[in-house]
Amino acid sequence: MAAPVKAEPVFFVLTFLMCIEQPIHWMCYILDNRVEQTLQFVQGLSIEFAVVYLATCLIYWVKGKRAKIAVKALLYMLFWTLMGITLFLALNFEMCISQQTLTVLVETNPKESSEFVDTYMLTNASQLSYLLDFVVLVAIGVCEWKRRAITVFLRRKLNKRFFTWFTSLNAAVGIVLMAVCYVWLLCCCNSAQIYIWRNYFPYDSLDPWSQSLHAINSLRAFDNDVKFAIKQAEKVYETTPVIEDTDSLTVI
């Protein structure tokens, strides 16, 4: 299981670091001796490990040099964009990618969008997020330029047996947790089920990719709530009240 990471260590490490901003802030709970939150921090890291590992596997499995470069570039762009959005939301609003942010995005009209751009796009916090995005982009370019040298260096310095064991164990555990997380999330059809899911997988402890999936599925679940409420209202509207002659105050 460690072969993909051995072949693409630069991509794996850089992508893992781009996704770690959300799970890592839960590390403070370790110092507070909060066991449940600490376990959720470890769980979030495991799921992130699995996400990045599977992305690395995708590059590893692609045949052809040009196809491999294209897939890697697309994945870099995806995770870099998610990182940029996460930083922007965190620095400006202390929020992460969630159903609320998508709802605001969908329901915002052009006038409100222009006001948002004028208000937040050039704040100090936004400029800091842009700077961090640029630094990461440069780091990606430099590391990929020196990828062969970095790969050779890491292979020399890392203990092969420990690296294989560590990577395989984390990948296996992470994939199992990710499968449970994603399948359960996909099965959530209303807000009540989403809230139960959040008790076991707090979305702000997950990586940006998992947060995006949660946000999209939450929109679907909350939309189902609205549709159900509309159907119930229509049934009530179509109901004809019946008043018994014996008791005019009894309404059925």
Q: Would you say residue 251 has pLDDT above 50?
A: no
Judge contact between 34 and 67, C-beta under 8 A: no
CA gap 87, 135 in Å, rounded: 13
Q: Which of 123, 127, 112, 155 is nearest to 2 (CA)?
A: 155
Strands of the chain, DSSP E = none
The torsion angles phi and psi of 151, rounded to 5 degrees, stand at: -60, -45
pLDDT tens digits, 188-200: 888 888 999 988 8
Place of tokens 């440069």: 138
Mean pLDDT of the chain: 82
Q: Would you say residue 28 has pLDDT above 60?
A: no
Q: Would you say residue 103 has pLDDT above 80?
A: no
What is residue 142's predicted lDDT score, i.e. its pLDDT? 92
What is residue 80's predicted lDDT score, i.e. its pLDDT? 93
- Amino acid, single-letter form, for residue 232: Q
* Interior angle at CA 149, CA 145 and CA 153, nearest 5: 140
Question: Which run of H or of E encompasses 31?
Answer: helix 28-31
pLDDT tens digits, 112-156: 666 766 677 777 888 888 898 899 999 999 998 988 888 888 888
pLDDT tens digits, 155-178: 888 778 888 888 889 899 999 999
Name every residue whose Cβ is closer than 8 Å to that of residue 78 and which is 6 or more positions away in sequence: 209
Confidence of residue 34 (pLDDT cuts 50, 70, 90): low
